[in-house]
Amino acid sequence: MNISKIDLNLLVYLDVLLREKNVTRAADQLSITQPAMSNGLKRLRELFSDPILVRTSEGMMPTARALQLQPVVRDVLSKLEATIQPETEFDPLTSCRTFRIMASDYAETTLLSKVLGELRTKAPGVTLDIVTPSDVSFHDVELGKVDMAINRFEELPLSFHQKVIWYDTFSCMVSAEHPCLPDFNLDKYLEHKHVWVSKTGFGVGVGIDPNEVQKLGWVDVELAKLDKKRDISVFTRHYHMAMWLAKEQGLIATLPTKATEIYADNDQVVVLEPPFDIPPIALKMAWSPLLHHDAGHIWIRRLIVDIGAQQ
C-alpha cells in the first residue's frame, strides 16, 4: 500500500467512527453529511479490506482489526494536531480559562483544595469546574469535554495519558469514645459495625451487594483472604459522610489515610492503623491525547503533580 495514494482524511473519519460507533453521530462530529460519512466508511473498508464496523444486537461494533488500528490512528492524529497548531504561550497570571476536572470527593478535599489555594496566587483568573464521577463518562474525557479525571482507577482506555499523583495507605477512624479502644485489634475490628465508602471509575453508580466481595474493593478483598468479613451497615460514596458517621454514629470507617487528615485536629475522633494489611492505592490523573500538547493543560497538570508530590 502506497501511503501517497491514501486520502489522509480517511484516518480522521476512522478515528471519529471508532469513537462514536455510529455513522450519523460521526457525521455530526465532523460537520459533514451522513451520505459523505457512509461513503467514507465504504472507502475505509476498501482500504483496509475489513468491515471496520459491523452491526450487532448492541449496535455497530468495531472489528478486531479496527480495535488494533484505533490507538495507532489516535496517536498519529494527536501528534499531527499538535504539530500544525500555532505555538501559544499560557500566562497563568492573565488567563481566565476554566478547567473542568472530574474528581471524587477524596481527591477534591485532599488534593484539589490545595490546588485552589495555589491558583489564588499563581493564576487568580483561572476557574476550576469540579464534577463528580457520576457526571461524566470516559467518552467525555476522550473528546476533551473534561480536561482531566482524578480518581482511583481500576481500568483506563489505552489511548489516555495518565500520571500517578500519589500512593496512599489506609487508616481506621473511630469515635474517641468507641468501645474498640484502647486495645484495637482484628477481633474488635470485626466485632463492631462499619461504614463502607468508595467511588472509582466513571458513570452513574449502581447498588452494592454486600455478598460480592470482589466488588467491595481493597479492604474487603484483603479481609476475605483472611477468611474474615466485616459487618457493614452503611454504604456511601462520600468520604465526608463516612468520617461523620465514624464520629457521630459509632461506626468504624476504613479509608485512605490522607482523607483522615481532614480531622487531624479533632479530638472527637481517633485515627488508627488497620489491624490487617491493606495494599496502598494510587490516585491517578488521566487526560485525553487531544489536550496533551495544550500549553494551559500542561501548566495545570504540572501544578497538580507538584502539589501532589508535596503532600
Whole-number CA gyration radius for the chain: 24
- pLDDT tens for the chain, 311 residues: list them: 566 677 778 888 999 899 888 898 888 878 788 888 899 899 999 989 999 999 888 888 999 999 999 988 888 887 777 676 655 678 999 999 999 999 988 899 899 999 999 999 999 999 999 998 888 888 888 888 899 999 888 777 777 888 999 999 999 999 999 999 989 999 999 999 999 987 655 544 545 555 554 567 789 899 999 999 999 999 888 888 999 999 999 999 999 999 999 888 899 999 999 999 999 999 999 998 888 888 899 999 999 999 999 98
> Is 27 among the domain residues?
yes
Q: What pLDDT was estimated at residue 165? A: 95
**Pairing mode, strands 231-236 and 193-197:** parallel
Q: What pLDDT was estimated at residue 1? A: 58
Q: Based on the domain organization, do 162 and 27 belong to the same domain?
A: no
Q: What pLDDT was estimated at residue 208? A: 57
The range of the structural domain enclosing residue 46 comes to: 3-84
Q: Based on the domain organization, do 207 and 267 belong to the same domain?
A: yes
- Total number of domains constituting the chain: 3
- CATH number of the domain at 75, please: 1.10.10.10
- DSSP for 108-171 reads IIIIIHHHHHHHHHH-TT-EEEEE-GGG--HHHHHTTSSSEEEE--S---TTSEEEEEEEE-EE
pTM of the predicted protein model: 0.69
Q: Based on the domain organization, do 163 and 77 belong to the same domain?
A: no
> Is 89 among the domain residues?
no
> Is 37 among the domain residues?
yes
How far apart are alpha carbons 235 and 215 in whole angstroms?
13
Q: Based on the domain organization, do 129 and 218 belong to the same domain?
A: no
> Is 137 among the domain residues?
yes
